[in-house]
Amino acid sequence: MANPARTRGSVIAPAVSGTVTPLIPDLQGGIPVARKTVLVSDMSGAEIAEGKGATVRITFQDARKGVRELDVTDAEAEKLGGRQVARRGRRPKSAQ
């Protein structure tokens, strides 16, 4: 049986109310605000500058464990070491 407090989608309305009101107010006509996404290292907690940093992908041999990804700074990625893997795909014409 479906929960009567839930409506279609992810908007939650009170069970006693007959109308559905959005949880986030409509910003049309409101004051425009800027949004900035700040990327933080999962290892040290340091802020990663825009255009810098790396994503470390950990794939387990046991597929049931899934995949983990870490956002790290350039310096942290270099410290981890590992082997360098060749890029995939065709070489660009200018490099041939």
pLDDT in tens, 26-83: 556 667 777 888 999 999 999 999 989 999 999 999 989 999 999 999 999 999 988 8
Cα(28)–Cα(51) distance, rounded to whole angstroms? 32
Q: Is residue 67 part of a domain?
A: yes
Q: Is residue 59 part of a domain?
A: yes
In angstroms, what CA-CA distances link 2 with 6, 8, 9, 30, 66?
8, 11, 13, 36, 31
Given a cut of 60, whether residue 2 has pLDDT beyond it is no
Q: Is residue 45 part of a domain?
A: yes
Tokens of residue 35, six digits: 């949004």
Judge whether 21 and 35 are in contact, CB under 8 Å: no
**Residue 34, SS3 per DSSP:** coil
- Show the domain range for 72: 39-81
